[in-house]
Each structure stands twice: as structure tokens, then as C-alpha cells.
């Protein structure tokens, strides 16, 4: 499965730099997850000076420790998971439809998107 499709790349380009925006003005572009364990990443910005790095809201199993930060796409894709699986993109997650603030609230509440 291709993680960053042309449509997703276009959405990252459209969103642009979010450093001056609040979470209510930022939309999540895509959701990645570990199909065999903890780990979900809600990506919302691709860094222009290093396109391998993405800003995201991540939860690695403990919702109390979920946080905003950066993730390297090459590191995520090189993760060795059981059964030959790899990190996947949630193909049902709508591009640029969920505000970052809403995603954070829902996840911290213990619910799923």
C-alpha cells in the first residue's frame, strides 16, 4: 500500500505551514497505525525543509501520554512488525475533514476515529 498518495501529498501542500495556527485551524491529513499493536499517528503537516519528517498527534498505547510531535516516515516504514506486516494507512480516514483539536479531544477521551 502506498502511504503518501498524490491526493494526500496535495493535501499536505494545501495545509502548508501550521506553526502559526491553533489546533482548531489545523486539519488532519491522514492516519497511520500499527496493525498488530499500539501506535497511531494523525499526520497534519509535512516539513518543507525535510520532507521525511511529519508533524503529528501520536498515541503509542497510553492515551494519557498522547502528544504532538514529529515522526520520520522512513523510520515508521522500516519498523519490523510480526507476520511481515508494516505500518499502514487508514484508507477510510477522510483527508482534511477532522480538525486536529477534535481528534485530540476524541482520543484523549478514550474513543476512536
The total number of structural domains that make up the chain = 1
> What is the model's pLDDT at position 112?
87
In-domain check, residue 69:
yes
* Percent of the chain predicted with pLDDT > 90: 91
| Banded model confidence at residue 12, pLDDT cuts 50, 70, 90 | very high
In-domain check, residue 1:
no
Whether 1 has a pLDDT exceeding 80, the answer reads no
Range of the domain at 41: 6-108
In-domain check, residue 85:
yes
Whether 61 has a pLDDT exceeding 90, the answer reads no
The string of DSSP letters for the chain reads --SS-HHHHHHHHHH---TTS-GGG-B--EEEE-TTSS-EEEEEEE-SS-TTEEEEEEESS-GGG-EEEEEEHHHHHT---GGG---EE-TTSPTT-SBHHHHHHHHHTT---
pTM of the model: 0.95
Whether 32 has a pLDDT exceeding 90, the answer reads yes
Amino acid at each position: 500500500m502506498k502511504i503518501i498518495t498524490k491526493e494526500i501529498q496535495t493535501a499536505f501542500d494545501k495545509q502548508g505551514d501550521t506553526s502559526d495556527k491553533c489546533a482548531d485551524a489545523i486539519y488532519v491529513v491522514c492516519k497511520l497505525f500499527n496493525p498488530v499493536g499500539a501506535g497511531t499517528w494523525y499526520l497534519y503537516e509535512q516539513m518543507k525543509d525535510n520532507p521525511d519528517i511529519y508533524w503529528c498527534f501520536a498515541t503509542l498505547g497510553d492515551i494519557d501520554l498522547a502528544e504532538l510531535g514529529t515522526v520520520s516516515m522512513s523510520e515508521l516504514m522500516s519498523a519490523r512488525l510480526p507476520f511481515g506486516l508494516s505500518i499502514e494507512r487508514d484508507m477510510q480516514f477522510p483527508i482534511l475533514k477532522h480538525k486536529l483539536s477534535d481528534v485530540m479531544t476524541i482520543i484523549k477521551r478514550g474513543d476512536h476515529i
